[in-house]
Amino acid sequence: MKEEKIFGWSFSLAKSLIMSVLQNDGKPLTFVFKKFALENSRATHSVRNYYYKLEQSLKADKKLLSRFNLSKKEVEKLFNSHHFSSVTEKELLYKILPLENQKSVRSACLKLAKNDTNLMVRYQNKYRNLIKNKKAEVIKVMEELTDKGIQTRNPYGNNIVVMQKKHEITEGQLKSIFMGLVRLIKEHATEEAEQSIKTEMQFANNTLQATLIDLRRKQLLIEELKRENDKLKKSFSVAKENLAKSQSQNLSNMLEIQSLVSSKKMQDLKNFIENLVKIEQKSNS
């Protein structure tokens, strides 16, 4: 029998997604969607869109909800684990936006969650979602806090200037503006310093690499020249030795010739040749 489809997915796959959300240990739903997508060869955004569509249908259709055979506790967890009412959203902003002793967003969320890390992650993710998708509401809360003289963090940087409803500027607002300027200048200086250090380190690294390569090339050249020099020395030594032998042999030959010239045999040969010449002359006459 062919398995029933729910919005294009099989019932078993839809149930598996619901159980993945229920078994989540406090991580953001985006993490659950991504993990489920990888395990089932689907796109993360497709899983996310399907889940929210299915969730809305389960809320509206009790008959469909009953087919998933969920306990009352599981249904409550499914529908309430990741949603905030508009009042809760405003309360969340009122707790996180104020700069109490320059605490970070994470610290503010942890304090609000009473050191419950799972709940802290939910608060932190919801805060980021509000900053991204409900800008007008966030700015409104920032203005309300500023009107009360409470220094707030500005999640939008220099792109948003919170205006006070009243014309006068309180001492708290002046302090907030001043601290904001100091923080911006410090952040800008830090970014410039970090970028400068990165650039200098990159330049130094490139220069060092080029220098090492050049030194290695020169070392190889020196070694090659040294080998050629050793060969030349050896050749010169052999040539010098051969020259000395040649000179010695030549001297020996010259002495032998001189000895031969002055010998009696040479004189007898000379006389013999002269006699032959005389005999030849007589014959011709």
Task: List, as one string, the DSSP characters of 212-237.
Answer: HHHHHHHHHHHHHHHHHHHHHHHHHH
Share of the chain above pLDDT 70, in %: 84
| Residue 253 φ then ψ, to 5° | -65, -40
The pLDDT tens digits for 58-107 are 888 889 889 899 888 888 877 765 555 444 788 889 888 998 766 788 88
- Collect the ranges in the chain with pLDDT lower than 70: 1-2, 26-27, 80-87, 101-102, 118, 158-176, 188, 191-193, 196, 204, 257, 260-262
Q: What would the two tokens of residue 203 be?
A: 């330049």
Interacting residues of 97 by C-beta distance below 8 A, sequence separation 6+: 138, 141, 142, 145, 152, 153
Global pTM? 0.35
Give the three-class secondary structure for 10: strand
Q: Residue 223 CB: number of other CB atoms within 10 A?
A: 10
Indicate the burial class of 166 (C-beta count within 10 angstroms; 0-12, 13-18, 19 or more): exposed
